[in-house]
Amino acid sequence: MAAATSVVLLDRGNNTTCTINLHGATVVSWRVNNQEQLFVSKAAIFDGKAPIRGGIPVVFPHFGPWSYGPNHGFARVTQWGVEKRPERLPSGDVEAIFFCTDNEWTRSIWHYQFRLTYRLILREKRTRDMVIYQEGREAVTIGEWTDRIYQNTPQEHIITNVVSGRKMRVQKYNFPDTVVWNPWLDHSKDVPDLGEDEYPNMICVESGHVSSPVVLLPGTAFEASQILQGSDPYVFTYFFLGNVLMFFKCSY
């Protein structure tokens, strides 16, 4: 398991950074112009054992309660390695690559060999206006306990009222499903590593392959990607295998 201090920092300049804790390869901070974009609970546990409550963890090889091992699989409670330290690309963007492979512990739970590769890019993309994709169905509004799996969702979502009333665009590729979760007052007391008063200030949006499993033959791979873009001209892009949970800070 990764120690609480095992972190990797991507710094693009202009007070725009991304911090990854190697415990679960969890993105625990994404700051744009020094303003935090992600939610991490003030009660989150950083002991290298429990999953980190908030940020962007990786869910693999299972979503939800799992009879074989930890809820949402073992990727978010496993120490990841660094395949490529943060490196500035010719474009000025910053890239890092992380990996996770099977070991004696994972095989005792799930007897398969695997390798996950997780590529993150902190990218700047200047735009004049944020183009909003208007979907025909009614928008999802959170005002109560919510735990829903939406199947075959559009490739793009817009999350409103994220930080100081701004919008966040989520673009996903090869992730057909979207899960929306907030414990609200009903269940926030049941989550020990979430402050009881934090539920109005967060929303968990999960892009993944949830409703149906991905079956891989020996020697084959599954690839998916996701792009997060805030109202500021910075794009945080990452490519990896598995599902992802994202906790955004919200303003109410």
Determine contact, residues 12/124, Cβ cutoff 8 Å. yes
- pLDDT confidence of residue 232: 62
- pLDDT confidence of residue 91: 87
- pLDDT confidence of residue 29: 94
- pLDDT confidence of residue 212: 85
Q: Is 23 exposed, middle or buried (0-12, 13-18, 19+ CB in 10 A)?
A: buried
With b for 16 or more beta-carbon neighbours within 10 A and e for fewer, the 72-82 pattern comes to bbbbbbbebee
Per-residue tens of pLDDT for the chain, all 252 residues: 334 459 999 999 888 999 999 999 999 999 988 889 899 999 999 999 999 999 999 999 998 899 999 999 999 999 999 999 999 999 889 999 999 999 999 999 999 989 999 999 998 764 333 333 334 456 778 888 888 888 899 999 888 877 667 788 889 989 999 989 899 988 888 888 888 889 888 888 889 888 888 888 888 888 888 888 876 656 665 554 455 554 444 544
- pLDDT confidence of residue 4: 46
- pLDDT confidence of residue 236: 61
The CB density around residue 237, as the number of other CB atoms within 10 Å, is 18
CATH class label, 7-126+142-249: mainly beta
Provide the sign of the torsion angle of the four alpha carbons 6, 235, 119, 41, taken in this order. positive
- pLDDT confidence of residue 3: 43
- pLDDT confidence of residue 243: 53
Q: Cα separation of 30 and 11, whole Å?
A: 10
Helix (H, G, I), strand (E, B) or coil at 248: strand
